[in-house]
Amino acid sequence: MHWGEKVLLGLGILLLLVLEATGIYIYYEEYQIMNKWPSVPANITKSYVESVQETDQTGNTVDHFVPKVQYAYSVNGTVMTGEKLTLITHKFPMEESAKRLLEGLEAGTTYEIKMNPENSQDTVIKPGYSWGMVLGFILGPLVFVGLFFGLSFLVKE
């Protein structure tokens, strides 16, 4: 690999790292804002896992499982509804993983949700990180750096 190719490879890896860091920063800012919202009690009215079929890049049909929840809460005597479970929509390859995210959110239970004080219709049940996201944030950059060094050292001049 010539030095010019190494420079291009390095710039490509650097661009990917910058994009990932930007995504992490944006997500973290959203999380910080939502976590400061006041908590209000909500009654869980529906909790289920939705099966979604998508076509992957090779044309195969792939099943994903999406945890869904609906809840009702009161603001100044007005009953409102919401369905935002987390900051991002999770799609799991296994139904059990989707069900795990819904533990404690069975229909009929009361749960403290976060409500935007400037827009009471903007609510979320779990604004925080999941372990999968934390691992992705940590392992993502390591994979890019590993690819860079692996390709640059394994490819012969």
Check: pTM over 0.75? Answer yes or no: no
Verify that 53 and 102 share a domain, yes or no.
yes
- Quote the pLDDT of residue 22: 77
Verify that 70 and 2 share a domain, yes or no.
no
- Averaged over 9-31, what is the pLDDT? 76
Strand order in the sheet with 61-75: 78-82, 61-75, 39-55, 110-115, 123-124
State the residue range of the domain holding 151. 1-36+131-157
- Quote the pLDDT of residue 105: 95
In angstroms, rounded to a whole number, what is the distance separating the alpha carbons of residues 108 and 44?
Answer: 6
- Quote the pLDDT of residue 109: 97
Verify that 60 and 135 share a domain, yes or no.
no
Verify that 84 and 144 share a domain, yes or no.
no
Verify that 30 and 44 share a domain, yes or no.
no
